Chain A
Amino acid sequence: MQHLLTAIILLPVIGGLAIVAYSLLPGRRESNYKWIALAFSVADFLISLLLIKGISAGVREFQFVDDVLWIGSIGARYHVGVDGISLWLVLLTTLLMPIAILSSWTAIQKRQLSYYLFLQLLAGAMVGVFVSLDLLLFYLFFEASLVPMFFLIGIWGGERRVYAAIKFFIYTSVGSLLMLVGIITLFYIYGTFDYVTILNAMRAGSTTLAPRAEFWLFLAFAFAFSIKVPLFPLHTWLPDAHTEAPTAGSVILAGVLLKMGTYGLLRFNLGLFPDMSRKFAPVMITLAIIGIIYGALVAMVQPDVKRLVAYSSVSHMGFVILGLFSFTEMGMQGALYQMLSHGVSTGALFLFVGFIYERRHTRQISDFGGLATPMPWFASLFVIASLSSIGLPFLNGFVGEFLIMLGSWTSNAIQHAWIATMLAGTGVIWAAVYMLWMLQRVVFGPVTNTKNSALKDLNTREIGLLVPLLILMLLMGIFPRVFLDRSAASVNEVRTRVAAPPTGGSFASSKTSEAPKRLAP
Chain B
Amino acid sequence: MENNLLSLIIFAPLAGAAINWFLGRRLRNEKFIGVIACGAVAVSTVVAFYLAFKSGGALRSTEPVFDNLWTWIQVGKFRADFGLAMDRLSGTYALFVTFVGFLIHVFAVGYMQKDQGFYRFFAFLNLFMFAMLTLVLADNFLLMFVGWEGVGLCSYLLIGYYIDRKEAGDAAKKAFITNRVGDWGFVMGIMLTFFLTGSISFFDKPAQGVTSALQTIAGMSAVDPFTWHAIFAGGVTSIAILLFIGAAGKSAQIPLYVWLPDAMAGPTPVSALIHAATMVTAGVYMIVRCSAIYTHAPTAMFVVAVIGAATALFAATIGLAQNDIKKVLAYSTISQLGYMFLACGLGAFTAAIFHVITHAFFKALLFLGSGSVIHGMHHEQDMRSMGGLKKYMPITFATMLTGWLAISGIPIFAGFFSKDEILWRTWSAGTFSLPSPPWSKALWFIGALTALLTAVYMTRMMVMTFWGSERFREKHVDHVDNASGIHDDAHHDDHAVHEPHESPWLMTAPLVVLAILSTIGGFIGVPYALGSLAGLHPTNYIEQTLGPVIAKVPGGKTESEPAAAEPIWLSHPPQTTDSAPAFVSLDETAASHSAEEIHGERLLALVSVAIAVLGIVFGWIIFRRRPLLALPRILENKYYVDEIYDATVINPINAGSREGLWKIFDVGVIDGFLHTIGEVVLEGGRAIRHLQGGFVRAYAAIILLGALAVIGFFAYYGVHAMRLLP
Contact = CB atoms under 8 A, between A and B. Distances in A.
A484 B184 contact: no
Interface in B671-726: 671, 674, 678, 711, 714-715, 718-719, 722-726
A425 B188 contact: yes
A444 B723 contact: no
A23 B711 CA distance: 42
A514 B145 CA distance: 25
B173 interface: yes
B54 interface: no
A4 interface: no
B102 interface: no
Given A432-B177, A484-B74, A297 B188 contact: no
B177 A428 contact: no
Contacts of B657: 297-298, 300-301
Interface stretch (B159-167, B402-410, B476-484, B579-587): B159-167
Contact of B670 (A216, A233, A439): A233
A38 interface: no
Given A298-B666, A425-B184, A212 B723 contact: yes
Given A213-B722, A393-B146, A429-B184, A437 B76 contact: no
Given A188-B715, A330-B75, A334-B75, A394 B187 contact: no
Contacts of A387: 153
Nearest to A445: B166
Contacts of A403: 73, 75, 78
Contact of B719 (A185, A208, A297, A406): A185
Given A208-B726, A297-B661, A372-B163, A484 B196 contact: no
A488 B75 contact: yes
B173 A516 contact: no
Given A300-B657, A422-B188, A436-B177, A520 B198 contact: no
A485 B188 CA distance: 25
A212 B724 contact: yes
Nearest to A432: B180
Contacts of A418: 191-192, 195, 234
A521 interface: yes
Contacts of B145: 393
Contacts of A478: 72
B184 A428 contact: yes
Contacts of A208: 726
A399 interface: yes
Contacts of B723: 210, 212-213
A212 B187 CA distance: 41
A521 B232 CA distance: 9
B31 interface: no
A188 B726 contact: no
A481 interface: yes
Contacts, number: 185
Interface string B51-73: 00000000000000000001111
A179 B656 CA distance: 37
A502 interface: no
B233 interface: yes
Given A236-B674, A440-B173, A519-B234, A189 B724 contact: yes
Contacts of B646: none
Nearest to A370: B164
A429 B177 contact: yes
A480 interface: yes
Interface in A263-295: 294
Interface string A426-469: 10110011001101100011110000000000000000000000
Contact of A406 (B153, B177, B194, B671): B194
Nearest to A481: B74
A429 B718 contact: no
Contacts of B489: none
Interface string A376-410: 00010000000100001110000100110110011
B214 to A, nearest CB: 16
A445 B714 contact: no
Interface in B16-73: 70-73
Contacts of B164: 370, 372-373, 445-447
Given A300-B657, A328-B76, A444 B196 contact: no
A304 to B, nearest CB: 12
A185 B671 CA distance: 31
B121 to A, nearest CB: 14
B726 A207 contact: yes
Interface string A177-191: 000010011001100
B180 A301 contact: no
A510 to B, nearest CB: 19
B73 A481 contact: yes
Nearest to B225: A521
Contacts of A481: 71-74
B150 interface: yes
Given A236-B671, A328-B76, A429 B180 contact: yes
A294 B172 CA distance: 25
Nearest to A383: B157
A190 B114 CA distance: 77
Contacts of A302: 662
B169 interface: yes
A373 B150 CA distance: 25
A104 to B, nearest CB: 29
Contacts of A213: 722-724
Given A329-B76, A372-B163, A216 B176 contact: no
A209 B191 CA distance: 38
A519 B235 contact: yes
B187 A405 contact: yes
Contacts of B192: 409, 418
Contacts of B149: 392-393
A370 B165 CA distance: 9
B714 A181 contact: yes
B617 interface: no
A348 B249 CA distance: 30
B642 interface: no
Contact of A294 (B71, B173, B183, B661): B661
Nearest to A337: B75
B668 to A, nearest CB: 11
A484 B169 contact: no
Contacts of A170: 678
B658 interface: yes
A480 B666 contact: no
A379 B73 CA distance: 30
B658 A410 contact: no
A143 to B, nearest CB: 16
Interface in A234-253: 236
A518 interface: yes
Contact of A484 (B73, B170, B176): B73
A381 to B, nearest CB: 13
Nearest to B145: A393
10 contacts: A185-B724, A329-B76, A333-B76, A372-B164, A421-B191, A445-B165, A481-B74, A485-B74, A516-B196, A521-B233
Given A429-B184, A444-B169, 20 more contacts: A170-B678, A188-B725, A208-B726, A212-B722, A213-B723, A236-B674, A297-B661, A330-B76, A330-B78, A333-B75, A372-B163, A379-B163, A399-B73, A429-B181, A432-B180, A440-B173, A481-B73, A518-B235, A519-B233, A521-B233
Interface of A: 167, 170, 181, 184-185, 188-189, 207-210, 212-213, 216, 233, 236, 294, 297-298, 300-302, 328-330, 333-334, 370, 372-373, 379, 387, 392-394, 399, 402-403, 405-406, 409-410, 418, 421-422, 425-426, 428-429, 432-433, 436-437, 439-440, 444-447, 478-481, 484-485, 488, 514, 516, 518-521
Interface of B: 70-78, 142, 145-146, 149-150, 153, 156, 160, 163-166, 168-170, 172-173, 176-177, 180-181, 183-184, 187-188, 191-192, 194-196, 198, 222, 224, 230, 233-236, 653-654, 656-658, 661-662, 666, 670-671, 674, 678, 711, 714-715, 718-719, 722-726
